[in-house]
Structure 1
Amino acid sequence: MASGSADISTILDRILDAATDNLRIAKILVQMGLDPNNVTYDAIFNRLLEILLHNITLANLLAAIGAGFFVATLLMRTMVPLRVANMVGCVFFAAFGALSANVSTFLLYLLLLPINAVRLRQMLKLVKKARHAAEGDMSIEWLKPFMTERKYRRGDTLFELRDPAKEMFLTVTGKFLVKEINVEILPGALMGELGFLTPDNRRTGTVECIEDGQVLTITYERLLEIYFQDPQFGYYFLVLTSQRLLQNIQRLQDQLAAERAAGAAAGAATTNRIA
């Protein structure tokens, strides 16, 4: 066993001897405080250990912990724990900047703290609202802060059948008409959410403004971002679109039943005239 260790040490020493022939490597060794003419594996290890022990200070220890939290954020898949880890890391880095008298580092991470805190608060509110939605509260109010305002006048077309679908609408005021099924959409209703689910992201109908109104819009990219921040939003959206599909099915069934009743009434009237 000792012979094997000696052989490895000898091989490493030979590699180091060959490497020191390179002038660049020799300069690096000099900067590290080593003698290029007498470099061994043990000498490098001892020098690195000496540098490490010499730089063990409270400030560097705090920086190392902060770096650990930063690396942890790269491994996280959801935004809430990522923001928490980022805030903790900012605290350690700010403390490092204060102890090392590095003003720029201290101010940078001190400013990042409230930014992360605000975003974390938004994410927590989003998670809370999405959980309520998953439990049956289908209010869309919680989504409004993520939407932008847009106004339409009577006669304007919001989108047409088979158009590329890139955003979802929430009606605030006015009236809108789905032309294919002759259904009016009143304030407080969603439009365009089905285009988010179609394989080619195409509109499933044409919507026209029939009374001046205001809508709120949100892009599908933003919806995806919200989904990845809180996957429960995906369940909420599934329930929402399922309700819309069931409503459409019920509407078609009612129309079919009405047409059958009208046909039956017309047939009865014809029979009575013949009789």
Structure 2
Amino acid sequence: MGDPMSSSADLSTILNRILDTAADNLRIAKILVQMGLDPNNITYDALFDRLLEIVLANITLANMFALVGAIFFVATLLMQRMVPLRVANMVGCAFFATSGALSGSAATFLLYLLLLPVNAVRLRQLLRLVKKARSATQGDMSMEWIKPFMTERKYRRGDTLFKIHDTANEMFLTVTGKFLVKEINVEIPPGRLMGELGFLTPNNWRTGTVECIEDGQVLTITYERLLEIYFQSNQQFGYYILLLTSQRLLENNHRLQENISRLEATLAQEKAARETAAARGIA
């Protein structure tokens, strides 16, 4: 059996050699030698001339394409909207693929060539989303276009979807069945949105309690996904949500006015009845 102390010493020696070699390679003098400069005679002019030589030696058509591709890649990191980001990414991939072809690098060429159709498919999906979101702002209040982004869920009679003042994190679209907003005693039929007001409240609180009164199916989408659609659709979807919530608020206001009118009519009838009864008593 070998001596443990000897093995430890050998390992220590190897590590020390590795560290010494790494330190030697990182020395300024050695770097200058590798650049073709004399460490003992360094001037700004000599350094500038050498750097210029290196740059000029690397000015090739392949490197120029790679440089333009790098510029577009950096641009994608600065963009906030998805559509122009995808376009810039596709342009950058095209330049990188061309650079790989010119330099004879098959790996670079194939990598960026395969990224082009991936970005093209995502760009097409985004453009379709933008188009549908824009059509929604022009009066089409249909929710058909958002269904592919939603998840199916089923409820049975007596189930509570959410309660007033609960933390809201998703929106619902009714498909079948009936649902009741308990605070205002309003039934929600199929094809209606629920929970969209919680998306706009400051603390994302539910503004009512919704209960299932007839077995049914709903589609759900999280507020996080809604925000993704909002940013991807160039803010058109935000206006679309405002239209929906405004419509809901107007409906609630109209319903409140009707309730107030009925209450006033009831009070007037009761007052008239009391006055009639009092007049008969006096007579």
> What is the TM-score normalised by the length of structure 2?
0.84
Aligned-residue sequence identity (percent) comes to 76
Residue 167 of structure 1 corresponds to 170
3-state secondary structure, aligned to 2:168? coil
String of CA shifts for 1:121-161, please: whole Å, max 9, x gaps: 12111211222122222222222222222121221111111
Residue 223 of structure 1 corresponds to 226
Residue 88 of structure 2 corresponds to 85
3-state secondary structure, aligned to 1:33? coil
Say which one has the larger Rg.
2
CA distance in 2, matches of 1:61, 1:228: 33
- Single out whichever of 94-103 and 34-43 deviates more from structure 2: 94-103
- Single out whichever of 22-31 and 229-238 deviates more from structure 2: 22-31
**Displacement of 1:117 after TM fit?**
1.2
Q: Please, which of 215, 220, 240 is the counterpart of residue 212 of structure 1?
A: 215
Instruction: Say if 2:78 is the partner of 1:75.
Output: yes
String of CA shifts for 1:174-213, please: whole Å, max 9, x gaps: 1111111111111111110111111111101111111222
Matched residues, number = 254
3-state secondary structure, aligned to 1:164? coil
Check 1:265–1:94 CA distance in 2 against 1; reply closer, same or farther (3 A cut). Answer: same
Residue 3 of structure 1 corresponds to none
CA distance in 1, matches of 2:155, 2:30: 71
What aligned pairs does 1:1-275 form with structure 2 within 5 A after superposition?
A: 24-229=27-232, 230-272=234-276, 275=280
Check 1:146–1:27 CA distance in 2 against 1; reply closer, same or farther (3 A cut). Answer: same
Amino acid paired to 2:231: F
- Single out whichever of 178-187 and 110-119 deviates more from structure 2: 110-119
3-state secondary structure, aligned to 1:168? strand
CA distance in 1, matches of 2:38, 2:194: 74
3-state secondary structure, aligned to 2:205? coil
RMSD: 1.8
- Single out whichever of 265-274 and 76-85 deviates more from structure 2: 265-274
CA distance in 2, matches of 1:222, 1:114: 24
CA distance in 2, matches of 1:147, 1:140: 11
**Displacement of 1:79 after TM fit?**
1.3
3-state secondary structure, aligned to 1:143? helix
3-state secondary structure, aligned to 1:63? helix
> What is the TM-score normalised by the length of structure 1?
0.86
CA distance in 1, matches of 2:140, 2:147: 15
CA distance in 2, matches of 1:149, 1:114: 30
3-state secondary structure, aligned to 2:171? strand
**Displacement of 1:107 after TM fit?**
2.6
3-state secondary structure, aligned to 2:261? helix
